[in-house]
Amino acid sequence: MSYSIAEAARRSGLSIDTLRYYERIKLLDPPARDTAGRRAYSDDDLNWLGFLTKLRTTGMPIKSMREYASLRRHGVASAGRRKALLVEQRRSVAERIAELQGCLDVLDYKIENYAQVERKVLGVEPGMEEISA
C-alpha cells in the first residue's frame, strides 16, 4: 500500500508540513515518488512515523531521533547502540512519570485546600450550618 502525503499526515497525526520537514532533516528516508513526482509513503514509512511520534511524545529531542534514524540506516551492526538509546530513553520516561506523579500530588493538595475553603464559605452563609458540618 502507498499513501499520498495528505493520507500519511492523516494516519500519522502529523501535519503535511511536518512530514516534509522530517524528511528534510533526515528523520525520515525520502519516500518513493509516483509518476508525477509526488511522495508515495509505504506502510514501512508509516510504521516508522508511528514510532517517531512515540519517541517525540516521550520528549526525545529531534537531535537524538536523528541519531537513531541514522543508526537504523547502518543495519544490524548499530543494534547495540540503538538499544542503548532506547534504554536511556526508557529511564528518562520513567523518571518523568515519577516527577509528574509528584506534581499530581501537589495539585491534589492544593485542590483539596480550595475545596475546604469552599466548604468554609458555605458554612458561614446563614442557614447553611448543616451543610458545612
Partner DNA sequence: AGTTGACCTGGAGTGCACTCCAGGTCGTAG
Partner DNA sequence: CTACGACCTGGAGTGCACTCCAGGTCAACT
Give 53-91 as a DSSP string: HHHHHTT--HHHHHHHHHHHHTGGGGHHHHHHHHHHHHH
CB atoms closer than 10 angstroms to residue 103: 9
Which of 10-17's residues contact partners 24+ apart within 8 Å by CB, and which partners? 11/46, 12/46, 12/49, 12/50, 12/53, 13/53, 14/49, 14/53
Does 114 bind a second copy (CB under 8 A)? Our answer is yes
Length of the chain: 133
Q: Per rule CB under 8 A, is residue 47 in the interface with a second copy?
A: no
Minimal distance, residue 126 CB to DNA, in Å: 44
The interface region with a second copy, picked from 5-13, 20-28, 40-48, 108-116 by CB under 8 A, is 108-116
Which range binds DNA by CB under 7 A, 35-43, 80-88, 91-99, 102-110? 35-43
Q: Is 56 in the site for DNA (CB under 7 A)?
A: yes
C-alpha cell at 42: 509505504
- Using CA atoms, how far apart are residues 27 and 13, in angstroms rounded to an integer? 16
- In the bound complex, what is the minimum distance in angstroms from residue 113's beta carbon to a second copy? 9
**Cβ 40 to DNA shortest distance, Å:** 8
The only residue of 13, 32, 38, 96 in contact with DNA, by rule CB under 7 A: 38
Stretch that binds a second copy, among 8-16, 18-26, 39-47, 107-115 (CB under 8 A): 107-115
Q: Return residues touching DNA (CB under 7 A).
A: 4-7, 15-18, 20-21, 33, 35-39, 56, 61-63
